[in-house]
Amino acid sequence: MTLDPTRHPDWQLAQEAESHMKPILTLAAEMGLESSEILPYGHYMGKIEQQAVLQRLADKPDGLYIDVTAITPTPLGEGKSTTTIGLVQGLARRGLRSSAAIRQPSGGPTMGMKGSAAGGGLSQCIPLAPYSLNFTGDIHAVGAAHNLAMTALTSRMQHERNYDDATLERLSGMRRLNIDPTRVNTGWVVDFCAQALRHVVIGIEGEGRRNDGFMMRSHFDITVASEVMSILSVARDLRDLRQRMGRMVLALDRDGKPVTTADLQVDGAMTAWLVEAVKPNLIQTMEGQPVLVHTGPFGNIALGQSSVIADRVGLKLSEAHVTESGFAAEMGYEKFWNLKCRYSGLTPDAAVLVATVRALKYHGGAPQLRPGQPLPEAYTHEDLALVEAGCVNLLHHLGIVRRSGVPAVVCLNRFHTDTQAELDTVRRICEKAGARVAVSDHWARGGEGALELADAVLDACRTDRRAFRPLYDWNLPLRERIVRIAREVYGADGVDFEPLAAQRLAALQERPDAAELGVCMVKTQYSLSDDPSRRGVPASWRLHVRDALLFGGAGLVVPVAGDISLMPGTGSRPGFRNIDVDVETGQVSGLF
């Protein structure tokens, strides 16, 4: 690379790396894919025929399985994706066939504020623009399947209003579903931050108009928050996906019974829209290692990690496969550990806990940070006391990983403003706690900067004791599982269930499949507690569970212990204003 990452935006660095990318067929062949197992999408992207690969390599042992998680982040983020890519580049320099698995970014944050979710600096995946925009169409396909279900539901409600039983049955060939318009919980989806669609009224009737829908309140979520996306991320294969697709509960009927996608006979067609989306996508790091990009479930409500399928495939094809869990360890790693590993049947060999001096200072009491505003001085000048005070947060997250029985490596993701004394302080505290630590410079130097991290991870995989064990038995009642998570992972004193939550959990507990339902928490990622303003390791607090949702297709019960916004907003200075296209080359500029 000739460009300097401290002086050029990510998209310019990516464009330079793209000028010498490997063609997708070369990349696939290097990974050991047969030519029938790769579906090219243009010259540099592809989809993997996962069913064929998993069948062919059924007897091949899996590679090393490494999860990347983080301490509680500041509002600016601490570089988990960057570390994931950097680590893969570092492992490759140590001679291992390595791959990453990351999520596909949503158009909402990409256009709104966040820009690329492809990593940063010299640790990004490429080609950047297609990855950040339409890519191979998976999010679009998820949106289509979801909105098709809503089209089926709302048109059915119209027809059931318009016809008596006999006419309805004769015209439609289906008995009345008797959908209760006051209990339609599912909304529509669009993959932008369109706050104007958060609360809407649809099907507005006029005098005598009977064919413009059924008037009711409704809402739009961002597409990545769709249960369809969640299903795609947990499905083991197309068969599993097909079955789950029929179990989505869109509403209740007037007797309180669920009205599912199967009841509407729309589940087969929904699956038809997803036949390609079930195949993981393949692109590459800036240094030419495979990156599997698959699904983008919204961390706020779903697992917030890339798919079970992508990890299964990556482990068969690589000697080391690095996957990323969204949010901090008490949220993302907890779901990886107790949900994703259960769905996949896989167990990790090591976990990387990403920390930054910036975030440690934040937890140590430095001033508030806001995206787009200049950093307060505490963050740009040496302050050992703040760093030291903030390490409590790191040590708590380290304890979470250890509780799972998985070897941990702390990765200090280095910024150019960090001083040696600050880095040494963190190292000393971690080593005193018996933890492996690596300072990593992959943002500025790519794989070369990640060698210490790669070595520490390999060492942990090869020599540390490993005794992976779930936090709880799924036969435990749902409420007890929530209490275990709150006390043993978050560090709460206990859990308060509001009446609505208690009642819904009790009803869910009565279901014959209660022991098959996963508990997928909703809570802020900006604190270990349920109050985003509390930094470090909050003490003397109880988790407050307000509600519990059921996602029947994904097989998840979602206890809600925080504000749940499934439709972010677009601010007054949105990122899309910087984006443009070179009309000669088609290259996209301004994604940062």
Q: Name which of 97 and 159 has its Cβ closer to its own copies.
A: 159
CA distance 102 to 306: 5
Tell me the closest approach of the beta carbon of residue 176 to its own copies, in angstroms.
12
Q: Name which of 190 and 423 has its Cβ closer to its own copies.
A: 190
Choose the binding region for its own copies from 84-92, 143-151, 384-392, 499-507 (rule: CB under 8 A). 143-151
Residue 151 sits in the site that holds its own copies (CB under 8 A): yes
494 forms bridges with which residues in the sheet?
A: 542
Are 310 and 51 a contacting pair, CB within 8 Å? no
Choose the binding region for its own copies from 156-164, 344-352, 465-473, 530-538 (rule: CB under 8 A). 156-164
CA distance 60 to 586: 42
Tell me the closest approach of the beta carbon of residue 159 to its own copies, in angstroms.
4
Give the x-and-dash track for 473-502 against its own copies (CB under 8 A). Answer: ------------------------------
Task: Count the neighbouring beta carbons within 10 Å of the beta carbon of residue 389.
Answer: 18
Q: Name which of 133 and 252 has its Cβ closer to its own copies.
A: 133
Tell me which of 183, 198, 511, 542 binds its own copies, using CB under 8 A: 198
Q: Name which of 129 and 301 has its Cβ closer to its own copies.
A: 129
Tell me the closest approach of the beta carbon of residue 456 to its own copies, in angstroms.
39
Helix ranges (H only) for 94-175 are: 107-112, 128-132, 138-162, 165-172
**80 annotated ligand-binding residue:** yes
Tell me the closest approach of the beta carbon of residue 373 to its own copies, in angstroms.
12
Of 116-135, binders to its own copies (CB under 8 A) are 129-130, 133-134
Q: Which two tokens stand for residue 367?
A: 């001033």
- Quick one: DSSP state of residue 305? B
Number of residues in contact with its own copies, rule: CB under 8 A?
84
CA distance 383 to 165: 74
Tell me the closest approach of the beta carbon of residue 220 to its own copies, in angstroms.
9
Tell me which of 11, 65, 188, 362 binds its own copies, using CB under 8 A: 188
For 261-268, which contacts have Cβ atoms below 8 Å and span 24 or more sequence positions?
261/149, 261/152, 261/553, 263/177, 264/149, 264/152, 264/153, 264/156, 264/177, 265/152, 265/174, 266/148, 266/149, 266/152, 267/242, 268/242
Tell me the closest approach of the beta carbon of residue 290 to its own copies, in angstroms.
19
Q: Name which of 94 and 140 has its Cβ closer to its own copies.
A: 140
Helix ranges (H only) for 336-485 are: 341-344, 357-364, 377-380, 384-403, 420-432, 442-445, 451-463, 478-484
Alpha-carbon torsion (511, 501, 554, 492), positive or negative: negative
Q: Name which of 261 and 323 has its Cβ closer to its own copies.
A: 261
Tell me the closest approach of the beta carbon of residue 278 to its own copies, in angstroms.
8
Tell me the closest approach of the beta carbon of residue 66 to its own copies, in angstroms.
31
**106 annotated ligand-binding residue:** no
Tell me the closest approach of the beta carbon of residue 514 to its own copies, in angstroms.
27
Q: Compute CA distances 161 → 157, 167, 176, 211, 346, whole Å.
A: 6, 11, 10, 10, 49
Q: Which residues 6+ apart lie within 8 Å of 432 measured at CB?
A: none
Residue 55 sits in the site that holds its own copies (CB under 8 A): no
Give Dmax over CA atoms of the chain in angstroms: 80
CA distance 404 to 398: 10
**78 annotated ligand-binding residue:** yes
216 forms bridges with which residues in the sheet?
A: 202
**213 annotated ligand-binding residue:** no
CA distance 41 to 589: 21
Tell me which of 11, 65, 131, 273 binds its own copies, using CB under 8 A: 273
Q: Name which of 367 and 571 has its Cβ closer to its own copies.
A: 571
Of 88-107, binders to its own copies (CB under 8 A) are 107
Residue 191 sits in the site that holds its own copies (CB under 8 A): yes
**75 annotated ligand-binding residue:** yes
Choose the binding region for its own copies from 7-15, 320-328, 385-393, 576-584 (rule: CB under 8 A). 576-584
Measured at the CA of 77, the angle between CA 341 and CA 334, to 5 degrees, comes to 20
Tell me the closest approach of the beta carbon of residue 197 to its own copies, in angstroms.
6
CA distance 580 to 386: 41
Q: Name which of 372 and 434 has its Cβ closer to its own copies.
A: 372
Length of the chain: 592
Q: Name which of 215 and 433 has its Cβ closer to its own copies.
A: 215
Tell me the closest approach of the beta carbon of residue 25 to its own copies, in angstroms.
9
Tell me which of 30, 253, 276, 496 binds its own copies, using CB under 8 A: 276
Choose the binding region for its own copies from 73-81, 321-329, 469-477, 574-582 (rule: CB under 8 A). 574-582
Give the x-and-dash track for 200-239 against its own copies (CB under 8 A). Answer: xxxxx-x----xxxx----------------------xxx
Choose the binding region for its own copies from 268-276, 281-289, 389-397, 535-543 (rule: CB under 8 A). 268-276
**123 annotated ligand-binding residue:** no
Tell me which of 61, 173, 374, 434 binds its own copies, using CB under 8 A: 173
**74 annotated ligand-binding residue:** yes
CA distance 389 to 362: 9
Are 362 and 369 a contacting pair, CB within 8 Å? yes
Are 259 and 250 a contacting pair, CB within 8 Å? yes
Q: Compute CA distances 443 → 282, 382, 448, 534, whole Å.
A: 22, 20, 10, 29
Choose the binding region for its own copies from 282-290, 319-327, 509-517, 568-576 (rule: CB under 8 A). 568-576
**518 annotated ligand-binding residue:** no
Q: Which two tokens stand for residue 319?
A: 């000697």
Tell me the closest approach of the beta carbon of residue 134 to its own copies, in angstroms.
5
Of 26-45, binders to its own copies (CB under 8 A) are 39-43
CA distance 295 to 106: 10
Are 14 and 124 a contacting pair, CB within 8 Å? yes
Of 238-267, binders to its own copies (CB under 8 A) are 238-239, 242, 265-266
Q: Name which of 140 and 466 has its Cβ closer to its own copies.
A: 140
Residues at the binding site are 74-81
Residues at the binding site for ATP are 74-81
